[in-house]
Chains A and B, each alone.
Chain A
Amino acid sequence: MVEDLNWAIGGEAGDGIDSTGKIFAQALSRAGRHVFTSKDFASRIRGGYTAYKIRTSVDQVQSVVDRLDILVALTQRTIDENVDELHEGSAVIYDGERSWEAEIPDEVTGVDVPLKSIAEEAGGAIMRNTVALGAACEITGFDVEYLDEALEKRFGGKGSKIVENNKEAARKGQEYVRENYDVDLGYDLETTDNDYVLLNGNEAIGMGALAAGCRFYAGYPITPATSIMEYLTGRIEDYGGHVVQAEDELSAINMALGAARGGARSMTATSGAGIDLMTETFGLVAQSETPLVIADVQRSGPSTGMPTKQEQGDLNMALYGGHGEIPRFVVAPTSITECFWKTVEAFNLAEKYQTPVFLVSDLAMSVTEQTFPPEAFDMDEVEIDRGKLVDDDEVDEWLDAQGRFRAHAVTEDGISPRAIPGTEEGAHMSTGLEHDELGRRTEDQDERVQQVDKRYRKVETAQEREDWDYREFGDEDADNLVISWGSNEGALAEALDYLEEDVHVISVPYIFPRPDLTEEIEAADEVIVVEANATGQFADLLEHDALTRVKRINKYTGVRFKADELAEEISEQLSAEVPA
């Protein structure tokens, strides 16, 4: 019996790879097992290799590893792409009746199942993937009944006949393997009574937005951010909100800005090239002191780069994007639960400090589904802080001698009062031009300095008032310190299991402001910064903060870090020379 099982289905885009994988992942989750999924897909609609991988265990899993145990291969390429991960205990399920002869490595068990013929018997060739799921159940000793609920969820909308046919197809797949093969690879998938939820990072961001009171979302479709918009569409209406698919990203961020000026908690999300377009308005959001959440789900750049591949290359853009000097917050969730909680926090930060908040996620997290106990998203813990939003009674305090509302009043903490339309006597203009306390254009030197200082004072205030904390793993007293940001956290946490050396891991969800790690860095003998980009953008920041050189692990292949691979890299770096 193995502790965790790595299963995958691969074929051509359009083969139903995604939905089949999702069905199996949901079934495993219903069986009380933890699941971590990953996707490999090309930037095309039909054709091209695509795979859905699942790692499952009774313990929490939060990374992928370089091992594949059961592979459902719909094409030879599926086998070729994964051949390095197959081992003696692996099984490849394939359909020998199809027009290809599967070339399977000698040590691997080939399980030839006439997927299409069996599916046809059960009611239609389209169900061949479900037959394969049944076959996988037999090989892994997983009760086929767990598939039923997932099949109902997937096909329920298409009628009970289709659901029943699929259930039948799964059972026929199971029976075929039972009758024709005597496979014993030692897999026996244990089940538990635990109830888990299974969701990905973009769904968690969308859910966080709804929990936080987001009422308006405008966006333009772009991989991999679109699923946030798809999630909100159809759900935000239940709360009186609305999603607009804008004509472009320029429009999207300006609509979101408008809604925020109207007093709604408002958000937009994009990726790569879309962020470039939004940058024009980013400065206006800050200069007009509008609370706005802008999510950037990173993918491989620059330009259109590799739209369906992983990278953490936008950090510098989030920190420095835009002309002039722009006060902002940059928050980067480190896990799927963090995608939820940091989204809630982003809305609070935006309104408390009347500033744009960049919520920086990445492709790996956005498409990865993971199981959690539902309490990980405990809605009772959600707190809303709308900042200095003034009502009709409070407006008076902020009027000047002529009765004009001081929307950009210079205050000690840098935060001005905020009146939204409809507030009596609160009418005022805000602008991207430098302005006085009333929001009126100014080029007066003193007023310019006052307003610039005021806006940056908000950041100082936030630095003092908020917890810019981080997460730690491993041995806190170890001489070796590994630091990372964003979605690498899971792989890093699991890398500890493979490492022989003692390592202290710090995973940072805040890029600006960020925790001061100087002491930790000074106390360590070796410091390695892990990130999915070529130049080490976060490492640069830490070197700048601590005035020292750090080692770097950079991956920019377009593929996320794997736990075992990362452990190897860390070991190598620990024995390497410190860069000059």
Chain B
Amino acid sequence: MSSDVRFTDFKSDKQPTWCPGCGDFGTMNGMMKALAETGNDPDNTFVVAGIGCSGKIGTYMHSYALHGVHGRALPVGTGVKMARPDIEVMVAGGDGDGYSIGAGHFVHAVRRNVDMSYVVMDNRIYGLTKGQASPTSRSDFETSTTPEGPKQPPVNPLALALASGASFIAQSFASDALRHQEIVQEAIEHDGFGFVNVFSPCVTFNDVDTYDYFRDNLVDLEEEGHDPTDYEAAKEVILDSDKEYQGVMYQDENSVPYHEKHGVTEDMSEIPDGAPEDAMDLVREFY
């Protein structure tokens, strides 16, 4: 790890194909700055991405990375972290990726408390497939597949995380660059699963959850004097569907990450040239 890493070192030379004004630009910049700020460099960082606009992030960032299949980024991140406790693992996804097809994995990654950060670019719509309802779309949000709205309540990812036993729950806004970066940094530094839901507006298909909407409605928890270690206070904020919050909602200060609980400390890439020296004991066990 070199100390002179700049956030631009995490940038690839590929120009993003996101729509001009997409919230994902700000989300990604914050992620890169947070990684650099927390002392990581591209050679010891692994970024896992799913499918969708958010999934393109692995292409635009420079690090070890895998761009996988829809909804399965968290299991991949879990595997990387277990094999390599020495490597910084960041998983990026979207609301469809994380809370629809990947919802099952989300619940289990949260309860395992794997030591990685999970940044979800939540634009409350399916962008890359040109504007269908997502699990976080409002119940009256009209789209090509839901002309009268989905008529079902949106998933509350923060509540889902809380109910699953999360040790770190936060929310940020792509456009509030500094706060977003700070929050992602806290997620990285957290010993365990650092979950950040990011409001990342889709300027092409979502004319409801816009930059202006979030600017007008966002309440910063830090300014409100919220104590993230207070579980009851966190619960109240997370279940409050009348407001949009940003900041760290909940953090378990006693969090022990999965690999530590299971005594995994070694770099699993190191193996002997042949069978281990005491391997015949494996055979003798069957006498």
Q: Which A residues lie at the B interface, using CB under 8 A?
A: 29-30, 195-199, 203, 207, 210-213, 215-216, 218, 235, 237, 239-242, 244, 246-248, 250-252, 254-266, 280-281, 284, 288, 374, 377, 379-380, 382-384, 402, 404, 420-433, 440-441
Residue of A nearest to B91 (CB): A258
Near A by CB (< 8 A), chain B positions 63-117 give 63-69, 72, 75-84, 86-87, 104-105, 107-108
CA distance A193 to B263 in the complex (A): 42
Residue of B nearest to A210 (CB): B282
Residues of chain A within 8 A (CB-CB) of B72 are 250-251, 254, 280-281
Query: Which of B118-126, B127-135, B195-203, B267-275 binds A?
Result: B267-275
Q: Are B83 and A430 in contact (CB under 8 A)?
A: no
Residues of chain B within 8 A (CB-CB) of A248 are 104
Residue of B nearest to A29 (CB): B287
From known contacts A247-B104, A422-B87, infer whether A259 and B275 are also in contact, taking CB-CB under 8 Å.
no
- Distance in Å from the Cβ of B74 to the closest Cβ of chain A? 8
From known contacts A199-B286, A425-B43, infer whether A242 and B82 are also in contact, taking CB-CB under 8 Å.
yes
Q: Are B83 and A427 in contact (CB under 8 A)?
A: no
CA distance A382 to B275 in the complex (A): 6
Tally of B interface residues using CB under 8 Å: 59
CA distance A441 to B51 in the complex (A): 13
CA distance A281 to B63 in the complex (A): 22
Residues of chain A within 8 A (CB-CB) of B80 are 258-259, 261-262, 421
Name the one of B67, B69, B105, B268 contacting A264, with C-beta atoms under 8 angstroms: B268
Q: Are B275 and A426 in contact (CB under 8 A)?
A: no
Residues of chain A within 8 A (CB-CB) of B267 are 263, 422
Residues of chain B within 8 A (CB-CB) of A265 are 268, 271
CA distance A197 to B280 in the complex (A): 12
Q: Assess whether B264 is interfacial by the CB under 8 Å rule.
A: yes
**Central interface residue in A196, A244, A280, by most chain B CB within 10 Å:** A244
CA distance A248 to B103 in the complex (A): 12
Q: Are A195 and B287 in contact (CB under 8 A)?
A: yes
Q: What are 20 A-B contacts defined by CB distance under 8 Å?
A: A29-B287, A215-B269, A218-B79, A240-B266, A242-B264, A254-B72, A255-B79, A257-B68, A257-B79, A258-B48, A258-B81, A259-B82, A262-B46, A264-B84, A280-B69, A384-B271, A421-B44, A421-B64, A421-B87, A431-B68
A interface footprint on B36-49 (CB within 8 Å = 1, 0 otherwise): 00000011111110
- Distance in Å from the Cβ of B84 to the closest Cβ of chain A? 4
CA distance A247 to B59 in the complex (A): 28
From known contacts A262-B269, A266-B79, A380-B274, infer whether A421 and B282 are also in contact, taking CB-CB under 8 Å.
no
Q: Are B43 and A424 in contact (CB under 8 A)?
A: yes
Residues of chain A within 8 A (CB-CB) of B84 are 262-264, 421-422
Residues of chain A within 8 A (CB-CB) of B78 are 244, 251, 255, 258
Q: Are B105 and A251 in contact (CB under 8 A)?
A: yes
Residue of B nearest to A425 (CB): B43
- Distance in Å from the Cβ of B189 to the closest Cβ of chain A? 19
Name the one of A29, A261, A374, A402 contacting B76, with C-beta atoms under 8 angstroms: A261
**Central interface residue in B46, B68, B76, B77, by most chain A CB within 10 Å:** B76
Residue of A nearest to B41 (CB): A427
Q: Are A432 and B83 in contact (CB under 8 A)?
A: no
Q: Are A284 and B83 in contact (CB under 8 A)?
A: no
**Central interface residue in A218, A251, A428, by most chain B CB within 10 Å:** A251
Q: Are B269 and A246 in contact (CB under 8 A)?
A: no
Q: Are B268 and A240 in contact (CB under 8 A)?
A: yes
Residues of chain A within 8 A (CB-CB) of B63 are 427, 429
**Central interface residue in A250, A264, A266, by most chain B CB within 10 Å:** A264
Q: Are A246 and B268 in contact (CB under 8 A)?
A: no
CA distance A262 to B64 in the complex (A): 9
Residues of chain B within 8 A (CB-CB) of A427 are 42-43, 45, 62-65
Residues of chain A within 8 A (CB-CB) of B81 are 258, 262
Name the one of A254, A259, A424 contacting B83, with C-beta atoms under 8 angstroms: A259
Near A by CB (< 8 A), chain B positions 171-230 give none
Q: Which B residues lie at the A interface, using CB under 8 A?
A: 12-14, 42-48, 58-59, 62-69, 72, 75-84, 86-87, 104-105, 107-108, 259, 262-269, 271-276, 279-280, 282-284, 286-287
Q: Are A263 and B268 in contact (CB under 8 A)?
A: yes
Q: Are A384 and B14 in contact (CB under 8 A)?
A: no
Residue of A nearest to B258 (CB): A244
Residues of chain B within 8 A (CB-CB) of A244 are 78, 82
Q: Are A250 and B83 in contact (CB under 8 A)?
A: no
Q: Are A262 and B283 in contact (CB under 8 A)?
A: no
CA distance A433 to B66 in the complex (A): 11
Q: Are A210 and B279 in contact (CB under 8 A)?
A: yes
CA distance A235 to B284 in the complex (A): 14
- Distance in Å from the Cβ of A375 to the closest Cβ of chain B? 9
- Distance in Å from the Cβ of A123 to the closest Cβ of chain B? 27
Q: Are A257 and B76 in contact (CB under 8 A)?
A: yes
Name the one of A242, A255, A262, A288 contacting B75, with C-beta atoms under 8 angstroms: A255
Residue of A nearest to B68 (CB): A284
- Distance in Å from the Cβ of A196 to the closest Cβ of chain B? 8
From known contacts A197-B287, A215-B271, A261-B66, infer whether A255 and B276 are also in contact, taking CB-CB under 8 Å.
no
Residue of B nearest to A197 (CB): B286
Residues of chain A within 8 A (CB-CB) of B266 are 240
Residues of chain A within 8 A (CB-CB) of B13 are 402, 404
Q: Are B262 and A242 in contact (CB under 8 A)?
A: yes
- Distance in Å from the Cβ of B138 to the closest Cβ of chain A? 29
CA distance A218 to B44 in the complex (A): 24
Given contacts A284-B69, A383-B274, A424-B43, 19 further A-B contacts (CB under 8 A): A198-B287, A210-B279, A211-B276, A215-B268, A250-B105, A254-B68, A254-B69, A257-B76, A258-B81, A258-B82, A262-B80, A263-B84, A264-B269, A280-B72, A281-B72, A421-B84, A427-B64, A430-B65, A431-B67
Residues of chain B within 8 A (CB-CB) of A199 are 286
